[in-house]
């Protein structure tokens, strides 16, 4: 269940925490999503990589979340349902 205070699920929190550990922020250079997903799986989320990647893509889509948490560079899907 999401935490009522911020509305994020645990996988979202783990992604943001891993990005913070990697030093990825608003003023840093872009990193490949595979690097972030691998770090999340290796340290914090011992489940499948698809769940982490889907959550990462969803956090970058401005049409999926009210306030996107991640600034994605490249193809992160479209509102028409095209794959990311």
Residue 79 has pLDDT above 80, yes or no: no
User: What's the CA gap between 19 and 30, in Å, rounded?
Assistant: 11
Residue 27 has pLDDT above 80, yes or no: yes
Backbone angles phi, psi at 54, to 5 degrees: -60, -40
The whole-chain average pLDDT of the chain stands at: 83
Spell 2-40 as b/e; 16+ CB within 10 A means b. Answer: eeeeeebeebbebbbebbeeeebeeeeeeeebeebbebb
Residue 74 has pLDDT above 80, yes or no: no
Q: How many CA atoms lie within 13 A of 55 on its CB side?
A: 20
pLDDT of residue 21: 92
pTM for the whole structure: 0.80
Q: Which two tokens stand for residue 74?
A: 């490249």
């Amino acid at each position: 269940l999401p935490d009522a205070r911020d509305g994020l699920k645990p996988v979202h929190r783990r992604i943001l925490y891993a990005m913070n550990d990697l030093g990825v922020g608003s003023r840093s250079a872009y990193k490949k999503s595979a690097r972030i997903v691998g770090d999340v799986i290796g340290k914090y989320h011992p489940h499948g990589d698809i769940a982490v990647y889907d959550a990462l893509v969803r956090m970058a889509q401005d049409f999926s979340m009210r306030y996107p948490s991640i600034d994605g560079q490249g193809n992160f899907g479209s509102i028409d349902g095209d794959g990311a």
